[in-house]
Amino acid sequence: MIYVSEDVSAALVTHELAFEAVRQALVAAASDLSGVFPAVLGRSREPTNTFSVKSGWSAELTGVKVGSFWSGNPAIGLPRHNSTIVLLDQHTGRLRAVIEAGKVNAFRTAAADAVATDLLARKNAKVLAIFGAGNQAGYEVAALARVRPIEEVLIVSRPSERRNAFVEEIRQSGLDARIASAEEAVRAADIVVTATPSREPLFDAAWVGPGTHVVSMGSDAPGKHELPADLYPRASLFCDLLSQSIQIGDFQHARNAIDAGTLAVTPIGDVIEGRAPGRGSESEITVFDSSGISLQDLFMADALIRAKGQRN
């Protein structure tokens, strides 16, 4: 049985590794040679301590990821977000590997958005608006700046020390960063990313201009809601996995229209494989619902195991 500790996985993971692993996972998700089971959401005795269990299989991988959010961890010097990936042997069902993947999970989530952005955003996209300044935000900016010539980052977040530190972090990476209102940020942006736990839309659909690419990655549970649903009829819609997106992703708020066929949603894996078109014109608005699927975790775990073997 292979064990990879948090320290080792954090040292191995890169945006390049995550991009390729997640790209393969999204291709698998859009094929008949994979399966993803409904996410299980739970909590501990303390209601603010929550976890999710995501599981699935592909032609080569079977396993589960447990992601947790323990609100009081910073007080004892630990991160709020943690993640553990368990791979099972395809032939026996016994443990193949256990990978602690707290930092890896942030790379994995950002990588999915980067894969979609590379396919859907305009090639000259330079202004990125990001809602939220929490744990995930910095990874999102770094991943998207690898695939588009980002020059300016507009940050929409409540005043806090964390927000101020995030602005400085982005500036130190070589990008211009500043605080902006929701309306200013969305109107100016080529790419909009929402990385929040919001339960109501963060901006007005009318603020989204032609050619904008929009990513929702914070909506990962029933009731979460980041994007205005009246944006969807004006846009081309994409997702990681439709069955999960309409359950816990932002497209849960458009489920009736999607089920009725009024709105069409394309799995991003079909775009990767050339079975479906991506952006059709410079003026088209594109939306990617990034609900975060188990296959991403399984492919990340496999890539880390191979990277660890190459380093040894």
Residues 76-90: pLDDT tens digits?
Answer: 999 999 999 999 999
Q: Can you tell me whether residue 43 is helix, strand or coil?
A: strand
Evaluate if residue 45 carries a pLDDT over 80: yes
Return residue ranges of the chain for CATH 3.40.50.720.
113-292
| Predicted pLDDT of residue 148 | 98
| Predicted pLDDT of residue 309 | 87
pLDDT band at 11 (very low <50, low <70, confident <90, very high): very high
Return residue ranges of the chain for CATH 3.30.1780.10.
2-104+295-311
DSSP string, 89-136: -TTT-SEEEEEE-HHHHHHHHHHHHHHHHHHHS-TT--EEEEE--STT
Q: What is the pLDDT of residues 275-309, one digit of tens each?
A: 999 999 999 999 999 999 999 999 999 999 999 98
CATH number assigned to the domain covering 2-104+295-311: 3.30.1780.10
pLDDT band at 311 (very low <50, low <70, confident <90, very high): confident
Q: What is the pTM of this model?
A: 0.95
Q: What is the pLDDT of residues 202-243, one digit of tens each?
A: 999 999 999 999 999 999 889 999 999 999 999 999 999 999
Question: What mean pLDDT is reported for the chain?
Answer: 96
H or E, element range at 246: helix 242-248
Top-level class of domain 113-292: alpha beta
Evaluate if residue 312 carries a pLDDT over 80: no
Instruction: Indicate which residues carry an active-site annotation.
Output: 65
